[in-house]
């Protein structure tokens, strides 16, 4: 007999639906990091991201019997995470966006520009570009922002984004196109 870690998501879900709740722990370990990263991309706050990802697992566990297999567990669960993040953003009135460079700065890796002679100017320009991009992302409609984050931050395929957002692939492409066009427009002077 296979160990629970070797089973696929659908087999683990079936076992959970039959009352073997300990199998859900394998799904938690499998998707814990990804859930945290999605929540962190939305909130930019580690504690809030932990809380939201834990809430997503609690909600998934409580509703596991409702999972009908029309999508993969991964897609169903990510929809729960994204919905919790969007609800959190609505309750707080906005989403906080930070520089995408922050991860490298926190890791202790020094950032260096090639030409140190023009460093202050380049840093000022980069800072303004980051602020402008963040403001543009914040002002986007939730569906465009969600599609953009899932594609560019989480690396999900368009088909998976469509399932998470419960829409068509064509609609996801439109959301992505509009998000990229808005970002391009806001950053046109920096290119």
pLDDT digit string, tens, across residues 126-151 = 667 777 777 787 788 888 888 888 88
Would you say residue 109 has pLDDT above 60? no
- Alpha helical stretches, state H, the chain: 9-17, 24-43, 46-62, 73-92, 102-106, 119-139, 142-152, 158-165, 169-187
Write down the pTM of the prediction.
0.59
Residue 31 has pLDDT above 70, yes or no: yes
Which CATH number is 7-96 given? 1.10.1740.10
Q: Measured in whole angstroms, how far is the alpha carbon of residue 118 from the centre of its chain?
A: 35
The residue among 190 and 184 whose pLDDT is bigger is: 184
Residues 88, 39: Cα–Cα separation, whole Å: 10
| Per-residue pLDDT band at 4 (split at 50, 70, 90) | confident
pLDDT at 125: 67
Percent of the chain residues past pLDDT 90, beyond the cut: 30
- The four Cα atoms 188, 147, 36, 33 give a dihedral, to 10 degrees, of -100
pLDDT of residue 140: 84
Is the predicted pLDDT of residue 102 greater than 60, yes or no?
Answer: no
Instruction: From 30, 146, 7, 10, select the one nearest 71 (Cα to Cα).
Output: 10
Identify which has the larger pLDDT, 33 or 86.
33
pLDDT of residue 133: 76
Q: Where are the domains of the chain?
A: 7-96, 118-191
CA angle 38, 91, 140 (to 5 degrees): 60
With vertex at residue 34, the alpha carbon angle to CA 15 and CA 109, rounded to the nearest 5 degrees, is: 150
Give the CA distances from residue 104 to residues 107, 111, 126, in Å, rounded to whole numbers and listed in that order: 5, 8, 15
The answer regarding whether domain 118-191 maps to CATH 1.10.10.10 reads: yes
């Amino acid at each position: 007999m296979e160990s629970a870690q070797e089973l696929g998501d659908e087999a683990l879900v079936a076992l959970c639906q039959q009352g073997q709740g300990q199998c859900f722990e394998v799904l938690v370990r499998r998707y814990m990091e990804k859930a945290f990263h999605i929540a962190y991309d939305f909130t930019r706050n580690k504690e809030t991201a932990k809380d939201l990802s834990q809430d997503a697992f609690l909600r998934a566990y409580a509703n596991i019997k409702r999972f009908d297999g029309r999508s993969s567990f991964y897609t169903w669960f990510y929809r729960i995470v994204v919905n919790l993040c969007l609800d959190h953003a609505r309750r707080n009135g906005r989403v906080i966006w930070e520089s995408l460079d922050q991860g490298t700065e926190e890791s202790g890796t020094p950032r260096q520009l090639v030409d140190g002679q023009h460093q202050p100017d380049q840093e000022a320009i980069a800072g303004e570009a980051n602020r402008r991009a963040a403001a543009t992302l914040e002002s986007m409609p939730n569906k465009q922002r969600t599609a953009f984050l899932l594609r560019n931050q989480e690396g999900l395929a368009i088909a998976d984004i469509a399932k998470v957002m419960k829409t068509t692939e064509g609609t996801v492409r439109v959301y992505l196109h509009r998000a990229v066009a808005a970002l391009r427009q806001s950053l046109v002077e920096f290119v």
